């Protein structure tokens, strides 16, 4: 291959530089991802307008990684840069938080939080990618609080996810509780993946005990082949 035919540079993993302990955890998480996927790691130091600068960087990044809090944490426990990045970034955003076990990938599980909306396909695609990267099991989780009367079938989002995954081994859990309760109860995971905006994301960012990936971009090629050998299970949780 000649110099003129050199392949274009791969989109980097961009991480928000932050000297706080959580900022250092975000840097380690981003470095692990960049190393595992073979892409460059780009560290953005603090600037006068970090939100603007990181949003610009997200237009050419594969993933944008930030700590859930640093020296600028608000009364709600989130850094001020987190909500605008999660809402407006042009790429997937990973907000690093959680227990030491989750940060070190010791649960060997990735959880996809599905809602029954079309964005579930994006959530499942991302969850499969990261479960493969980590050599982890895949779990599909849907939270549906019990109501006196329901016009919908609470199993439907889980069953739809099963059809999307087809031969991809996974476990499925219908949690008959509110999302924050389901996220807290099913905390034995190294990554929580979701794609909804608004209250569900805020709930995850405040209650998850692991890094949270908010998916923004649709995959160019859907995953179709099986990746593991564990039979799927249909498990209701009350």
State the Cα–Cα distance between residues 105 and 234, nearest whole angstrom. 25
**What pLDDT score was predicted for residue 49?**
94
**pLDDT score recorded for residue 5:** 57
CA–CA distances in Å: residue 149 to residues 17, 135, 154, 173, 175: 49, 41, 11, 21, 17
What's the average model confidence in pLDDT over 216-221? 55
Q: What is the pLDDT of residues 104-129, one digit of tens each?
A: 999 999 999 999 999 999 999 999 99
Whether the CB-CB separation of 233 and 137 falls below 8 Å is answered with no
pLDDT band at residue 79 using 50, 70 and 90 as cut-offs: confident
pLDDT class of 70 with cuts at 50, 70, 90:
low
Contact of 50 with 67, CB cutoff 8 Å: no
Condensed to tens digits (0 to 9), the pLDDT of residues 137-185 reads 999 999 988 876 555 678 889 999 999 998 899 999 999 999 999 999 9
**pTM confidence score:** 0.85
pLDDT at 75: 40
Q: What is the pLDDT of residue 122?
A: 95
- Tell me how crowded residue 120 is: count the other CB atoms within 10 A of its CB: 23
pLDDT in tens, 13-50: 999 998 889 999 999 999 999 999 999 999 999 999 99
Reported residue count of the chain is 238
């Amino acid at each position: 291959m000649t110099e003129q035919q050199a392949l274009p540079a791969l989109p980097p993993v961009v991480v928000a530089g932050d000297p706080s302990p959580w900022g250092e955890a975000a840097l380690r998480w981003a470095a692990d991802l960049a190393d595992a996927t073979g892409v460059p790691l780009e560290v953005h130091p603090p600037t006068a307008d970090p939100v603007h600068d990181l949003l610009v960087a997200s237009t050419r990044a594969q993933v944008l990684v930030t700590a859930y809090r640093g020296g600028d944490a608000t009364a709600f426990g989130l850094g001020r840069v987190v909500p605008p990045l999660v809402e407006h970034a042009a790429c997937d955003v990973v907000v690093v938080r959680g227990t030491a076990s989750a940060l070190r990938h010791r649960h060997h599980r990735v959880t996809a939080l599905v809602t029954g909306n079309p964005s579930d396909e994006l959530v499942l695609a991302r969850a499969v990618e990261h479960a493969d990267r980590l050599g982890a099991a895949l779990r599909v989780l849907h939270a549906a609080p019990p109501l006196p009367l329901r016009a919908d079938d609470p199993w439907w989002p889980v069953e739809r996810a099963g059809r999307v995954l087809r031969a991809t081994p996974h476990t499925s859990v219908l949690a008959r509780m509110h999302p924050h309760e389901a996220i807290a109860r099913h905390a034995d995971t190294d990554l929580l993946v979701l794609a909804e905006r608004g209250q569900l994301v805020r709930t995850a960012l405040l209650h998850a005990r692991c890094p949270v990936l908010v998916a923004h971009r649709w995959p160019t090629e859907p995953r179709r082949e099986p990746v593991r050998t564990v039979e799927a299970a249909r498990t209701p949780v009350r």
